[in-house]
Chain A
Amino acid sequence: MAQAKTLPVKTHQAKAQFGYRRHPDQDRASQSPAEHPVVIVGAGPVGLSLAIDLAQRGQRVVLLDDADRIGEGSRAICFSKRSLEYWDRLGVGDRMVAKGVVWSVGRIFHGESLLYQFNLLPEDGHKRPAFINLQQYYAEAYLVDRIQDLPAVDLRWRNKVTALEQRNDCVALTIETPDGAYRLHAQYVIACDGARSSLRQMVGAEFAGQVFEDQFLIADVKMTAEFPTERWFWFDPPFHAGRSALLHRQPDDVWRIDLQLNRYADPVVEKKPENVRPRIARMLGHDEFEFEWISLYKFQCRRMDRFIHGRVIFAGDSAHQVSPFGARGANSGLEDAENLSWKLDRVLRGTSPASLLESYHTERSMAADENIRESTRSTDFMAPNSHQEARLRKAVLSLAKETEFGKRMVNGGRLSVPCSYDSQLSSRDADSWRGGPPPGCSMLDAPIAEQSYLTDAFRKDGTDFTLLSFSNGAALDPPDGVRNIRIGGSGFADPSGLVAQRYDAEPGTAYLLRPDGYVAARFRHPTREAIAAALSRAQGLN
């Protein structure tokens, strides 16, 4: 998310502790290190998810982390529908949703009055909600648990990469452990080691962008409260004059409170619990809460120019960093993982050329730029940079009281939605469409039976390329290796008609879906040849 100066408020901050275990790789002579297809560095939400995804595809993965614990604060708390659908495919979605707090409504206040409210998922017929709130340590713990079921993932705690050397056919890593250093060779190294990525420094890449001078105080407090399960955002609230505030519920009666501070505020003074407490008490109107976590942030929006450096590929915060207003940090990292995983799997199997990986850089760069643009706009709106910017914001807030356009200009954080890719992997529409997700967009969910959804069928049929076809009586055989999800006829029902509606489908319509659930191509009158050509393009074969 951002550079944090975290103050441990309690001493027992580790939420889970893992043991370092010596691995036979460490006993090898340094001239003949063990060779692995993939080494992932960093066991955060992104590295853990990517490891599970690759293992489910049959790859062996070594996952290194320099710590031996999950802990220190809630950090990321908002996980998007898209992330939940991905976690469903990784076998952890139910557990995340069962623990998480489901929400879809946000309210924006100015002073004491409600300016407007929004619903991020105003329609039925989706398996997953717009968002859940869940402390990052729970998400990480569930992912680590899942890895226990996957012998193909070799998770090594207290393994810190200290040197990296790019060779023609591999990356040579030097890894420091409590037993001393050892070496490993990997065909590909995936750096999921966060905003302060040491691998990024090792490849000598820059991390350029904008630093916001305003400081924000984030406090997670434990209390029983009657606030609804909604995202509440205030401009100039009575309890925090002239600045902004955010209140958001997490599981276990923990509430995220985010207060904008003066850019000249002294961090050491501001984060002292005795100084934080009165601010929060003013906001809540009472003093009956305990601190879980206090952290003071300055936000940064920046990205690497290239996400791929030779055989080292960057994903998540190591590649791009955004301010948190929009839940675009962890969610975009998870989108990186689902975009990269199937491509890397194909390249390692030799079924696609290494150039397919370039589309990871292209597609996820577009997403990073969009996320940076959105979160920069939100942060600028909350913390105007000049007198005139503040004046324009004041005009927007005052117009919002009586006009619809004003409400829509108020920017209290635009929340994460999957990015659309203008990608070389997509085949352009040849037919005419009035709706439905075009190539380069994420698939849409819809019910296919009682308590069963299209995303379930997509997941159950495996996570390879999938043809979603709408029956017209004739059964269409997809190319080899492509699964078929048929709607109508002998296939799934469309009880609410929402599948056909959301895909603008007529009898015969077919969508070719990539393993990450993105649309590669769509056809009104599919032919085997047209599908094969689109498949080939989406696999980077031409």
Chain B
Amino acid sequence: MPLSTSSNFARPDDAFRAIVEAHRGLTEEQSADFDAALVLILANHIGDIDVLREAIGLARRRMIDGQQQQQQQQ
């Protein structure tokens, strides 16, 4: 099963909001710790290494796009 990138939540704003609110009141350091734990929990729930790798690839492309933008600005 490939990574699903279609919208899966009936109310996507609720999901986004739930994650945002979970970070409320946390320091940068705590936020990063929280994200690390959340990523591991969700990765295990997916339980499919191919889907996980695809998701990592999709996320990694943000970093590459970001670097290219930075280079263009310079």
Contacts and interface: CB of A to CB of B under 8 A. Distances in A.
| A and B are partners in one complex rather than unrelated chains | yes
A395 to B, nearest CB: 4
Interface stretch (B16-24, B33-41, B56-64): B33-41
B68 interface: no
B45 to A, nearest CB: 9
A391 B36 CA distance: 7
A277 B53 CA distance: 46
A391 B40 contact: no
Interface string B5-46: 000000000000000000000000000110011011100100
B41 A391 contact: no
A409 interface: yes
B36 A395 contact: yes
A405 B44 contact: yes
Contact of A394 (B36, B39, B44): B36
Interface in A378-423: 388, 391-392, 394-396, 398-399, 403, 405-406, 409
Contacts of A392: 36, 39-40
Centre residue among B32, B33, B37 by max chain A CB count within 10 A: B37
Contacts of B37: 395, 398-399
A396 B33 contact: no
A71 to B, nearest CB: 46
B36 to A, nearest CB: 4
A392 B32 CA distance: 9
Nearest to A405: B44
B35 to A, nearest CB: 9
B40 A409 contact: yes
Contacts of B41: 399, 403
Contacts, number: 26
Contact of B33 (A394, A403, A405, A406): A394
B40 A396 contact: yes
A388 B28 CA distance: 13
A526 B34 CA distance: 58
Nearest to B43: A405
Nearest to B33: A391
Contacts of A409: 40
A406 to B, nearest CB: 7
A392 B40 CA distance: 8
Contacts of B32: 388, 391
B56 to A, nearest CB: 13
A406 B40 contact: yes
A351 B37 CA distance: 58
Contacts of B44: 403, 405
A406 B37 CA distance: 10
B50 to A, nearest CB: 18
Nearest to B29: A391
Nearest to A408: B44
A326 B11 CA distance: 47
A484 to B, nearest CB: 42
A403 B40 CA distance: 11
Nearest to A404: B44
A286 B71 CA distance: 59
A388 B37 CA distance: 12
Contacts of A405: 40, 44
Contacts of B33: 391, 394-395
Contacts of B39: 392, 395
A461 B20 CA distance: 68
B40 to A, nearest CB: 6
Nearest to A398: B37
B59 to A, nearest CB: 14
B46 to A, nearest CB: 11
Nearest to A393: B36
A404 to B, nearest CB: 9
A138 to B, nearest CB: 42
Contacts of A398: 37
A497 B37 CA distance: 45
A448 to B, nearest CB: 39
B57 to A, nearest CB: 18
Contacts of A391: 32-33, 36
A252 B1 CA distance: 55
A232 to B, nearest CB: 25
Given A394-B36, A405-B44, 11 more contacts: A391-B33, A395-B33, A395-B36, A395-B40, A396-B40, A398-B37, A399-B37, A399-B40, A405-B40, A406-B40, A409-B40
Interface of B: 32-33, 36-37, 39-41, 44
14 contacts: A388-B36, A391-B32, A391-B33, A392-B36, A392-B39, A394-B33, A394-B36, A395-B33, A395-B36, A395-B40, A398-B37, A399-B41, A403-B41, A405-B44
Smallest CB-CB A-B distances: 7 pairs: A395-B36, A395-B37, A405-B44, A391-B36, A392-B36, A395-B40, A391-B32
